Amino acid sequence: MDEEIISRIQTVIAHYGLSVSAFADEIGVQRSSISHLLSGRNKPSLDFVMKLVNAYPEVNLYWLLKGEGGFPESTSTIAESHKTAEPEEKVVAQSDGAPSPIKEVSQDPPHTIVLLFEDGTFQTYKGKKD
């Protein structure tokens, strides 16, 4: 599994046309960390994974960790995923008749929860579908 994640990290580096040093600088980690990771000496940590997906929003977390989904994730997919994560907004009238926006939070259980551990491992829990 670790080799597959390493391969996907190399794909990200190549996609952006970066050197290993430039990639390390972009995500804010030491250059030696990337070198050790790519050589297989170290496993990617939770901190490393989060820095990578924060620096490059086109990198799908599921793709990076499990190889599911695609890369690069299109901007429309990113926008759509953010759109569905936002609570729906309803407008109701206050007692004085003025409209008042109220955010409605979905009562549906989450479909998937991913726990990321500091040792670089993760665990996925899938919600039940009715």
Q: Which residues are bridge partners to 93 per DSSP?
A: 99
Please report the pLDDT score of residue 10 as a whole number. Answer: 93
**CATH number for the domain including 53?**
1.10.260.40
Q: What is the pLDDT of residue 63?
A: 92
The pLDDT tens digits for 96-128 are 655 555 555 556 655 667 777 777 677 766 666
pLDDT digits (tens, 9 = 90+) for 11-64: 999 999 999 999 999 999 999 999 999 998 999 999 999 999 999 999 999 899
Is the distance from CB of 85 to CB of 70 less than 8 angstroms? Answer: no
* Secondary structure (DSSP) of 53-96: HHH-TTS-HHHHHHS-S-SSPPHHHHHHHHHHHSPEEEEEE-TT
pLDDT beyond 70 at 71: yes
Provide the pLDDT for residue 128: 60
Query: What pLDDT sits at residue 34?
Result: 92
Q: Which domain holds residue 109?
A: 2-126
Domain count, the chain: 1
Among 4-18, 64-78, 81-95, the least confident range: 81-95
pLDDT at res. 93 = 54
